[in-house]
Amino acid sequence: MQLSQTEIELFYKLWYALIWKVNQKHKIIQDFQKPVYGKWVSEEQAYIIRTELWKNPQWIDDFLHNGDCEELTQTERDILTDWRSHFIEGRFLIVKHLAHYSIFMPIGEDDSQLLYGVCGISNPIKDTVPYQLPLMVDAVLLPFQGKIIYDSFLIPLNITFGKGIRASFNESYNTAKKTKGIIECLGETPVMGKPPAMKPKPQKPAPPVVDTQDANVPKAMSSRYMEIAAIVESFCDEKLNDDYKELCLRALQKLCRKRPSPLATGKVRTWACGIVYAIGSNNYIFDKSQPVNMTATEIAEWFGLSKSTAGNKASEINNLLDISYFNTEFLLKEIIDDHPAVWLLNVNGLMVDIRQMPRELQEQAFRKGLIPYIPADRR
């Protein structure tokens, strides 16, 4: 068994946020890049940070109480609190792969005849460590929304067992299952005997469908879109202009259309601020020479957030939407007009400004999507 896609994204959101902040504060890895789910992350560096974290679990308390996670929901904070209170670090034998989870049996006198039903994260554990059982591993077990998972690292040990020791492990497993049961959630009573049949999850009520005023967003995201759009429009009307508002709403709609949409969780004001901050910084809003300009602090304070929270959310949105100076989708029209990289194209081996070339070449470039519009038509 493995986590659902929503659970996977939630786990990595919390896990990456935790090790990122821990490394920032304690300077464990100097060049560690901020981890983002779906992007490449250095497992070697993350493992070093993770090792230091579990030597110092009070760092989770620091993370929860020093303002580093102010944008997390109460549910997300509760998950981190459970990690702090109930994590189990040690050496285990994986003795069985069952339909619902894999059975981990701790190695140690104090933990004799205990069994833990551990779920995989992105893949079932039998696929993550596809070796013959019993298999000895080093791991850190964590509670997670009524399940037991691990902290993304399973370290197999190159140890083989003879027939006799395998038989003794199997006997210990059968005895423990009958006498103590299987622990399916850390901090709760073990389940005796066989694991119960999987119960269907209660259906959440469908989100309300509201009029999005012709915005191209899924019906399930319509209510969320309108909440965030109202805040974005209010800010743009007060502080920016219609061109900025158009770009911000375009970014908001694109985030709503992602599957699953990251906007489904988190605070609406934080998302609204992140969108404005990301679009603004991509269009030089922090440059005082621009006709429309603001400071990062001014943007964050309008939304009632800290500058660091606003910047972090903007970085997340930049990654999600590939917002950059070279992506004209999220650039103001006047910046595109003066953007040299947009209009420089290779024609017959020469770099030329397509605006100075015959119209038929401009039309060809436009049809191929190489330029955003034909300059003469724009004028």
Residue 212 lies in a domain: no
How many domains is the chain partitioned into structurally? 4
In angstroms, rounded to a whole number, what is the distance separating the alpha carbons of residues 330 and 283? 8
- pLDDT bracket for residue 352 (50, 70, 90): confident
Residue range 137-148: average pLDDT?
93
Q: What is the CATH number of the domain that holds 188?
A: 2.40.50
Q: Give the integer Cα–Cα distance in Å for 102 and 146.
A: 15
186 within some domain: yes
Read off the pLDDT of residues 212-239 as tens digits, 9 standing for 90 and up: 667 788 888 888 999 999 999 999 999 9
**What pLDDT shows up at residue 112?**
57
Q: Hey, CA dihedral for 3, 321, 294, 232, is it positive or negative?
A: negative
Which of 42, 59, 86 terminates a domain? The answer is: 86
pLDDT in tens, 236-279: 999 999 999 999 999 999 999 998 899 989 999 999 999 999 99
The pLDDT of residue 190 is: 61
Ranked by mean pLDDT, which of 140-154, 192-206, 319-333 comes out on top? 140-154
What pLDDT, on the 0 to 100 scale, is given for residue 110? 55
Quick check: 192 pLDDT over 60? Answer: no
Identify the band that residue 150 occupies on the pLDDT scale cut at 50, 70 and 90: very high
Residue 227 included in any domain: yes
Provide the pLDDT for residue 365: 77
Asked if the structure places residue 201 within a domain, the reply is no
Q: Are residues 242 and 186 in the same domain?
A: no
One domain for residues 268 and 307 = yes
Q: Do residues 160 and 167 touch, judged by C-beta distance below 8 A? A: no
Give the end of a domain, one of 86, 108, 137.
86
Residue 306: CATH number of its domain: 1.10.472
Shared domain for 162 and 230, answered yes or no, is no
Task: Decide which of 102 and 66 is more confident.
Answer: 102
Q: What is the mean pLDDT of residues 62-82?
A: 83
Residue 202 lies in a domain: no
Domain match, 240 and 265 both: yes
Query: Does a structural domain hold residue 44?
Result: yes
In a domain, residue 97? The reply is yes
pLDDT tens-digit map of 87-132: 999 999 999 999 889 999 998 755 557 899 999 998 999 998 888 8
The string of pLDDT tens digits covering residues 11-29 is 999 999 999 999 999 999 9
Structure tokens at 119: 């779920």
Q: How much is the pLDDT for 250?
A: 92
Of 137-141, 268-272, 287-291, where does mean pLDDT reach its minimum? 287-291
In a domain, 261, yes or no: yes
Lowest mean per-residue pLDDT among 43-52, 160-169, 337-346: 337-346
Q: Domain end: 86, 119, 146, which one?
A: 86
Residue type (1 letter), 303: F
Up-side HSE of residue 299: CA atoms within 13 Å toward CB? 29
Read off the pLDDT of each residue in 182-202 and give the average, rounded to a whole number. Answer: 66
Range(s) of the domain holding residue 47? 1-86
